[in-house]
Amino acid sequence: MILPTSRITLPLLALSIFLINTIALNASFSATANEQKIPSEYEEVWDDDWAEEPAESPWQFTGFVEAAYGQFLQSNVTVNSAALNELRTRVNIDYNQQLFSAKAKVDYYYDQVLNKAIWYTRELNISASPLSFMDMKVGRQVLTWGTGDYLFLNDLFAKDWQSFFSGRADEYLKAPSDSIRTNWYFDNINLTLVWTPNFTPDNYITGERFSFYSPQSQRIVAPNEAFPVVKTDKAQWAARLNTRLQDVELSVYGYRGFWPTPTGNMVSHDEQLVNLPQGQSQAQNQNYGYFPKLNSWGVSALTPYLGGLFNIEYANYNSIENSNGSNQDIANGQHRFLVGYEHELAKNFTASMQYYLERTKNYQTLKANSPQPERLVDENRQLITLRLTYRAKQQTLSYSLFGFYSPSDKDAYLKPSIDFQYNDQWQFSTGANIFFGKHNYSFFGQHQDNTNAWLRVRYQYE
């Protein structure tokens, strides 16, 4: 394997790890400074009686301010040498009353990488229980399900890979969508139905922040303008049925919609064009990326086993515009399979492992129709992941390592991080996204030049 970081030093990473550790391990240096910042109620020794409060206001405001910086650890073909450089402020507004509750989570941030200020609404929704056995949430929301850890089989809700690769907080991996979610609770069975009237794709990797492998030009590129993509405005549906048999949680999933990344190529029709370079008119017979139709179904089971947790999941992807696999412009269907186990190895030290298999359907046909069959992903793409988490100092200091390794792609992706919760307000985090690969065209291998280290400082307020 080529180690992209071996030929360079890791000054930023080393510095930020040093800083966080220094802060965490010598937290005493500013104990007095800290006490000035904490709300007055922390100051006083608590009375024996904790007074009853008057009825809580239905309005609640919380949020944070965060500065984040991340830098590539080698030269990259991107415009910027930083993958992350932003100052962000978040406001969470909750409004609760008897019949419904409303929630807004809004970020406003200046993104130096994109050189612009951005309003980002993560949540803006209303929840209610119109029936005794039914809850619903309407509006912009973040949706998640499935048993995988950083691996998604039946969860086809939008992801934000740019955030994931750049070192933003984990919650940003899940992108919001404008949906209506209903949860139906029956005796022993819960049904969740999600309708997204306007299909929401992933925030996938484009040239604006990261470089990637272009099969057309057969090299690593980071085009100034994102490649043109046609996005449908049709609806996507997702459903989950889950139940519990003794200690086993069982789920059945269904999805009707589109591939969340533009895995198709087409000559543009009259669909809405997005990411079309400015000033460029829609040329006849020009190829565009698009999101082919995708239907899927799957199952999962999760159970405590030998003091740990065991999970297994399967998803069947039907790429219905290319069901026999002969269309080289559209992704083939897949079988996805996952098995995982998590266990606490020692006090405050947890390890988990996953094995993931992605089997391409109609592989021989795909190979026969591929212009570069030697660069095709294996019929059985395999991944092994490992997560190690160690928490120290009364759980305020957390060391984490997540690793992906693919024996079939011969590539890997490591995500080490350190997180220090100095007090209820200040949080310091640092980490890295390190990519390895034998080839520059494989899933993680193409990101070797995107290897980066990052640092975040967050102040929570309420």
As a dihedral over the C-alpha atoms of residue 182, residue 183, residue 185, residue 190, rounded to 10 degrees, the angle is: 130
Please tell me whether residue 254 binds other proteins under the rule CB under 8 A. no
Q: How many of the other CB atoms lie within 10 Å of CB of 430?
A: 25
Q: Kindly provide the residue ranges of all beta strands, DSSP E only, lying in 361-409, ordered along the sequence.
A: 380-392, 397-406
User: In the structure encoding, which two tokens stand for residue 117, read together?
Assistant: 């200020």
Contact of 202 with 158, CB cutoff 8 Å? yes
Please tell me whether residue 350 binds other proteins under the rule CB under 8 A. yes
Please tell me whether residue 59 binds other proteins under the rule CB under 8 A. no
- Specify the residue, 154 or 442, whose C-beta has the smaller distance to other proteins: 154
Please tell me whether residue 286 binds other proteins under the rule CB under 8 A. no
d(CA 413, CA 112): 26
Please tell me whether residue 243 binds other proteins under the rule CB under 8 A. no
Near other proteins by CB under 8 A: residue from 208, 329, 342, 378:
342
Number of alpha carbons in the 13 Å side-chain half-sphere of residue 121: 11
Region near other proteins per CB under 8 A, out of 12-20, 263-271, 321-329, 337-345: 337-345
Please tell me whether residue 34 binds other proteins under the rule CB under 8 A. yes
Near other proteins by CB under 8 A: residue from 6, 7, 9, 28:
28
Region 202-231 residues binding other proteins, contact defined as CB under 8 A: none
Main-chain dihedrals φ then ψ at residue 313, nearest 5 degrees? -150, 145
Region near other proteins per CB under 8 A, out of 55-63, 218-226, 250-258, 440-448: 55-63
- Specify the residue, 183 or 318, whose C-beta has the smaller distance to other proteins: 183
For 268-283, give one letter per residue: b (16+ CB within 10 A) or e.
beeeebebbeeeeeee
As measured in angstroms, the least distance from the Cβ of 109 to other proteins is 17
d(CA 361, CA 27): 55
How many residues sit in the footprint of other proteins (CB under 8 A)?
61
Closest alpha carbon to 434 in 61, 70, 41, 53: 70
Q: Tell me which residues touch other proteins (CB under 8 A).
A: 27-28, 31, 34-35, 38, 41-42, 46, 48-52, 60, 62-64, 92, 94, 96, 98, 127, 129, 135, 141-145, 171, 174, 183, 185, 190, 247, 249, 302, 304, 307-309, 342-344, 347-348, 350, 393-396, 421-425, 427, 460-462
